[in-house]
Structure 1
Amino acid sequence: MRKLVYYIAATIDGFIAGPDGADPTGPGGFWPIPEDYLRHLIAEYPETLPGPAREALGVTAEGTRFDTVLEGRHSYELGLKVGIPDAYPHLRHVVFSRTLGGSPDPNVTVLSGDPVAAVRELKQQDGKDIWVIGGGTLAGALATEIDQLVVKLAPLTIGAGIPLFGRDAAFEPRTWELTGHTVLDSGALFLTYTRRRGDS
């Protein structure tokens, strides 16, 4: 069965974006992107680079991990605001929104229903793993379905912002097993956690 993987960049103090929810890696952003970090993304997770970045960097690798990306409305609209209606044209792109209406791009599927039911259906289909890019609200809504966390931990603290599972996440302790890690010279860590069997 396909796994649902929350692959996300986070600060040491557990935030994925600043308080305003803007793209922290965009123009004027505060997120560090050192050269070894970018090299690691290209080598290990090429399919997670947005289409424009892949084109600029000359990345053509299909990648071996994901063939589907799930996104919440707010995260999706960050791309729309800069004229990118499909940031991941090389993946099946699904956006969850009750307010967006129709899709601005024929290759992007907008779903207004229950994301948990949709993910359970996706997991039964053939294919590679499913990537939850964010935002935190969607990750929080899908917390019970997430099989693996891949946290790109930046050597950065920001004090306040949007937490890993959003501002409205419920208090639901879950345990995870560290099943992989990479430490880069720049101080960034790639930490892979797999959900412990028997957890709710």
Structure 2
Amino acid sequence: MRRITLGVAVTLDGFIEGPNGEYDWCFTDQDYGITEFSKQVDALVMGRKTFDTMKGYEGPSPWSHAKTYVFSRTLKAAPGVEVLSGNVLESMNHLRQQPGKDIWLFGGADLAAQFSNHNLIDEYWLSVHPILLGTGKPLFKNLADRKKLKLVESKTYATGLVSLRYQPDLAGLQTW
């Protein structure tokens, strides 16, 4: 079965966007492992708001080889993407059963929470940027319950960015 990795850039205080939807705080001075990661995936999943934001991206795309799926209740069709409007759990269980490489959950926050609430995320890859925004869109909002994770990899860059990879630790889940 294909694995799903939530891979996102996040500020130290937990935001994925500034208060006006900006992400100009994201480091783009080097690769930060994205090219290697993109070799492991052939499907990119995101929400409609993230899709709208990424349409304006002009840099080289490490995910141009991947099929793009957009979850939306309002978008009916878009060139080069498959729009999913149904149940997240059913849609992703179906997609996971299809042949292919792993799946990159690219964003946004609402979709990440739905995936997490349905235990669909096999790995959380957070690129933590050394900046505090103080306000904006938080990555993890509306989680149904506590998630215990185990660190499987960490990498620190000279810029101060820290790449963290976690997997769900269902055996280690405790109630306090």
Assess same fold via TM > 0.5: yes
Which of the two has greater helix per residue? 1
Shift of 1:120: 1.1
Select 1:189's aligned residue among 146, 162, 169.
162
Aligned equivalents of 1:152 and 1:94: distance in 2? 22
* Aligned pair partner of 2:49 in 74, 86, 89: 74
The CA deviation at 1:31 is 2.8
Please show how residues 1-200 of structure 1 align to structure 2 within 5 Å. 1-22=1-22, 24=23, 29-33=24-28, 35=29, 38-41=30-33, 44-45=36-37, 47=38, 63=39, 65-80=40-55, 82=56, 88-102=63-77, 104-105=78-79, 107-143=80-116, 144-166=119-141, 169-198=142-171
- Three-state SS of the structure 2 residue aligned to 1:39 is coil
Post-superposition Cα deviations, 1:81-133, rounded to whole Å, max 9, x if no partner, equal x388xx7431010000011112x20x210011111211111122222111100
Structure 1 letter corresponding to 2:21:
G
Q: In structure 2, how many angstroms separate the alpha carbons of the residues matched to 1:92 and 1:191?
A: 25
Q: Secondary structure at the match of 1:93?
A: strand
User: CA 1:171/1:160 → structure 2, altered by over 3 Å: closer, same or farther?
Assistant: farther
TM-score under structure 2 length normalisation: 0.86
The number of residue pairs the alignment matches comes to 167
Unaligned runs of 5+ in 2: none
Paired AA for residue 33 in structure 2: L
> What is the TM-score when the length of structure 1 is the normalising length?
0.76
Overall identity of the aligned pairs, in %: 31
Q: Structure 1 segments of 4 or more deviating over 6 A?
A: none
Q: Which residue type is aligned with residue 40 of structure 1? A: Y
1:10 alignment partner AA:
V
String of CA shifts for 1:1-60, please: whole Å, max 9, x gaps: 2111100111111111112223x1xxxx23333x3xx23335533x3xxxxxxxxxxxxx
In 2, the alpha carbon distance for the partners of 1:129 and 1:176 equals 20
Q: How far apart in 2 are the matches of 1:182 and 1:83? A: 26
Structure with greater strand share of residues = 2
How far apart, CA to CA, are the structure 2 residues paired with 1:21 and 1:155? 18
